């Protein structure tokens, strides 16, 4: 057990080191969702968005939940990238010839991605706070938001790592990533509530796990516990199923890749 | 001769879907020797190596390393071996020392033990000064040295080197050869793949020539060269249309062991040059076949390779490079 812990902490530290050496890219990953979506998009649509449709005091406070979950989505989907590079330059092989538990590398990646995502979510909530968005459910609500983010993130990171192990080239990986990410965002309640969408888009958005996550995070920020709790209960169920499917699928891919 | 067996490969076959990478390979590596797997790219030498070091599971057959089965006792094998991959498997953002510290943790060394070994290894591969710089500032040769230090960190009984000098300049190459010889002198068993014949000739105690997933021949470089029987006379012919006539005329001569047409002339394996050379010149004269160039040499590993695979390893390497 202490061996296992030694492996995982050393591997996790490696991801942290890598990130800290890539200052430029770190800045971008951290700042991009806040700057691009929350500040620009949120303020841009201040007048254009109809408060009757969004059911929120202003568009930024409506959008905050969406940006939080979008960050989880993007971090999760990109969670396998470093493993992809490790696979391509042979570093992964080097790791696999050491007497480590085969799951250590994967687990270290989960820990790293979840930690970074949580930090980012906190920063986003902080920036939103500066624009006057006060989470209605307080600190406990923020903790629940982080939990929902992690539940969603685990499944996404699993998909991403499975993709990293199975794609032929990293070009393929990034194409799939680009193809998945934006439709997932547009076909969810991130930018517009389901009720305000064209019927067919609203229909599709219902099958997007992201919608469920957003619909639970949003009342935690906007309304309060009574409104939020049923949604939170629901999202936990949805995410457990989602994670189970993703983890099962990626475990199979992982086993085959290691054979 | 009773020598301790370090690695036993028995009937190893590895197939990917319809493609057979290695087929029914069997050989032994003795403790304390430098064993080479020589062959062109795609011959199956990397697959063989990867199976021995537990990265691949054999489709059939078994591999045992110091008595441990590579599938059932993979962890035991992993604890005994070190691996220097073919790619520069370096994380460009980590420093040299951080690479070694990471591996130290993965081999479950204590902090103190790891620090001691890392200091020794950095000294050995002359990377002490660069140890705390990110690896992206390293030259190709330095990265290779770091690779080797990483392979040596677990203090392995057997070290595996996959194409250790591929793409290195001459100086770095000679330096790597020195390390390999020094490690052997310390009693380490070394298994390496290479597609450089001179490297195999210089370093390996024994080598297996692998082509199309099969071992074509196995032995010490000297044995393999002697095994060819006879020295080699290479002719370059001015008028290449005369090559077939010259081949058939020379084949009948008793002093010639084997005659083979090449794109520019002939390769003739002869018993002794004293008898063969006059006969060759006489024959060429009689057929009015002008010779541009005559070369005579003892068999080289090149010739062993050609004799067993039907082609030159250099052509193969060139074709591979152009294909990329």
Tokens 């998009």, residue? A41
- In A, minimum Cα distance to B90 occurs at A91
* Cα-Cα-Cα-Cα dihedral sign, residues B254, B255, B260, B265: negative
- The answer to whether A171 contacts chain B (CB < 8 Å) is no
Least Cα separation, residue B134 to chain A (angstroms): 9
Q: What is the mean pLDDT of residues B287-312?
A: 82
User: C-alpha angle B143/B146/B148, rounded to 5°?
Assistant: 115
- ipTM for the complex shown: 0.88
Q: Where are the domains of chain B?
A: 5-220, 230-298
Closest of A93, A217, A232 to residue B84, by C-alpha: A93
Mutation pick from B68, B80, B81, B91 vs chain A, by most beta carbons of A within 10 Å, is: B91
pLDDT score, position B179: 92
- Which of B82, B99, B105 best probes binding to A when mutated, by most A CB atoms within 10 angstroms? B105
Q: Which of residues 36-95 of A touch B (CB under 8 A)?
A: 86, 89-91, 93-95
Q: What is the pLDDT of residues A212-223, one digit of tens each?
A: 999 999 999 999
Of the candidates B57, B90, B106, the beta carbon closest to that of A98 is on B106
pLDDT band at B320 (very low <50, low <70, confident <90, very high): very low
Q: Chain A contacts of B83, Cβ < 8 Å?
A: 93-94, 97
The reply to whether B166 touches chain A by the CB within 8 Å rule is no
**Interface membership of A172 toward B (CB under 8 Å):** no
What is the CB neighbour count within 10 angstroms for residue A67? 27
Quickly state the pLDDT bin for B315 (edges 50, 70, 90): low
CATH number for the region B230-298 comes to 3.30.70.920
pLDDT of the residue at B116: 96
Q: Are B213 and B51 in contact (CB under 8 A)?
A: no
**B105 vs A7, A18, A94: nearest CB:** A7
The pLDDT mean for chain B works out to 88
| Shortest CA distance from B56: residue in chain A | A259
pLDDT at B5 over 80: yes
CA atoms within 13 A on the CB side of B92: 10
CATH code that applies to domain B5-220: 3.40.50.300
Burial class (CB in 10 A: 0-12, 13-18, 19+), B285: exposed
Q: Any idea where the domains of chain A sit in the sequence?
A: 51-258
**Do the beta carbons of residue A11 and residue A105 sit within 8 Å?**
yes
Beta bridge partners of B236: B265, B293
CA angle A203, A209, A210 (to 5 degrees): 95
Nearest CA in chain B to A23: B93
Is the minimum CB–CB distance between A25 and chain B shorter than 8 Å? no
* pLDDT higher than 70, residue B245: yes
Calpha distance A56→A49 (Å, rounded): 10
3-state secondary structure of A212: helix
Average pLDDT over residues A153-157: 96
Percent of chain B whose predicted confidence (pLDDT) is above 90: 54
Residue A41 CB: number of other CB atoms within 10 A?
17
Is residue B12 within 8 Å of residue B22, measured between CB atoms? yes
Quick check: A255 pLDDT over 80?
Answer: yes
What is the signed CA dihedral for B264, B267, B272, B276, rounded to 10 degrees? -50
**Phi/psi at B301 (5° precision):** -65, -30
Helix boundaries (H) for chain A = 2-21, 23-32, 42-44, 51-54, 59-77, 81-89, 91-96, 104-130, 138-166, 170-186, 199-205, 209-222, 225-258
Q: How many CA atoms lie within 13 A of B216 on its CB side?
A: 21
> Above 80 in pLDDT, residue B273?
no
Q: Is the pLDDT of residue A207 over 80?
A: yes
Verify whether the Cβ–Cβ distance B103 to A98 is below 8 Å: yes
- Residues of chain A contacting residue B105, judged by C-beta atoms under 8 Å apart: 6-7, 9-10
> Which strands, in side-by-side order, build the sheet including B256-261?
B256-261, B265-270, B231-237, B291-297
Q: Are the Cβ atoms of B134 and A259 closer than 8 angstroms?
A: no
Q: Give the pLDDT mean for B234-263.
A: 84
pLDDT band at B129 (very low <50, low <70, confident <90, very high): very high
Whether B58 contacts chain A with CB within 8 A = no
Residue B292 confidence (pLDDT): 86
User: What is the distance between the alpha carbons of residues B293 and A96, in angstroms, rounded to a whole number?
Assistant: 53
Q: Among residues of chain B, what percentage have pLDDT more than 70?
A: 96
pTM above 0.90, yes or no: no
Contacts of B242 (CB under 8 A, 6+ apart): B287, B288, B289
Residues of B in contact with A91 (CB under 8 A): 89-91
User: Which of A16, A85, A94 is the best residue to mutate to test the B interface, defined by the most B CB atoms within 10 Å of its own CB?
Assistant: A94
Q: Count CB-CB contacts under 10 A for residue A1.
A: 5
């Amino acid at each position: 057990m202490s061996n296992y812990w030694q492996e995982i902490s050393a591997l996790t530290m490696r991801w942290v080191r890598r990130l800290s050496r890539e200052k430029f890219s770190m800045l971008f990953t951290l700042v991009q969702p806040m700057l691009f979506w929350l500040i620009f998009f949120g303020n841009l649509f201040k007048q254009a968005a109809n408060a009757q449709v969004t059911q929120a005091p202003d568009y930024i406070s409506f959008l905050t939940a969406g940006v939080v979950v979008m960050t989880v989505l993007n971090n999760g989907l990109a969670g396998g990238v470093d493993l992809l590079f490790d696979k391509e330059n042979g570093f992964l092989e080097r790791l696999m010839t050491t007497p480590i538990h085969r799951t250590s590398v994967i687990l270290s990646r989960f820990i790293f991605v979840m930690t970074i995502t949580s930090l980012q979510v906190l920063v986003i909530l902080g920036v939103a706070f500066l624009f006057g968005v006060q989470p209605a459910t307080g600190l406990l609500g923020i903790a629940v938001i982080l939990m929902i983010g992690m539940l969603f993130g685990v499944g996404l990171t699993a998909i991403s790592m499975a993709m990293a192990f199975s794609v032929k080239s990293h070009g393929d990986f990034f194409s799939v990533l680009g193809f998945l990410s934006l439709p997932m965002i547009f076909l969810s309640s991130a930018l517009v509530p389901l009720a305000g969408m064209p019927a067919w888009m609203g229909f599709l958005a219902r099958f997007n796990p992201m919608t469920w996550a957003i619909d639970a995070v949003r009342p935690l920020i906007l309304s309060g516990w009574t409104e939020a709790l049923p949604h939170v209960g629901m999202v936990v169920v949805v995410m457990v199923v989602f994670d189970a499917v993703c983890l099962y699928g990626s475990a199979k891919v992982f086993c085959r890749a290691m054979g | 001769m009773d020598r301790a067996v370090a690695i036993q490969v028995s009937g190893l076959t590895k197939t990917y879907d319809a493609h057979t990478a290695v087929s029914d390979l069997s050989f032994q590596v003795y403790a304390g020797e430098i064993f080479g797997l020589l062959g062109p790219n795609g011959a199956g030498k990397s697959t063989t190596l990867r199976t021995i070091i537990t990265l691949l599971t054999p489709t059939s057959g078994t591999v045992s390393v110091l008595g441990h089965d590579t599938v059932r006792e993979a962890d035991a094998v992993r604890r005994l071996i070190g691996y220097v991959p073919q790619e520069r498997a370096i994380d460009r953002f980590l420093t040299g020392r951080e690479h070694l510290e990471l591996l130290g943790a993965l081999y479950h060394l204590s902090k103190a033990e790891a620090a001691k070994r890392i200091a020794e290894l950095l000294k050995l591969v002359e990377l002490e000064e660069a140890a705390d710089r990110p690896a992206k500032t390293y030259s190709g040769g330095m990265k290779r040295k770091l690779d080797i230090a990483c392979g040596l960190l677990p203090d392995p009984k057997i070290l595996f080197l996959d194409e250790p000098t591929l793409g290195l300049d001459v100086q770095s190459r000679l330096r790597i050869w020195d390390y390999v010889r020094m490690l052997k002198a310390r009693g380490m068993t070394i298994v390496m793949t290479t597609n450089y014949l001179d490297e195999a000739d210089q370093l390996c105690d024994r080598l297996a020539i692998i082509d199309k997933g099969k071992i074509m021949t196995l032995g010490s470089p000297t044995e393999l060269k002697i095994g060819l029987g006879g020295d080699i006379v290479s002719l370059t012919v001015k008028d290449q249309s005369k090559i077939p006539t010259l081949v058939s005329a020379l084949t009948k001569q008793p002093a010639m062991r084997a005659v083979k047409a090449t794109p520019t002339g002939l390769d003739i394996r002869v018993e002794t040059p004293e008898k063969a050379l006059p006969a060759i010149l006489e024959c060429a004269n009689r057929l009015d076949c002008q010779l541009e160039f005559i070369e005579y040499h003892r068999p080289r590993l090149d010739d062993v390779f050609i004799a067993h695979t039907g082609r030159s390893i250099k052509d193969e390497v060139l074709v591979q490079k152009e294909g990329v």
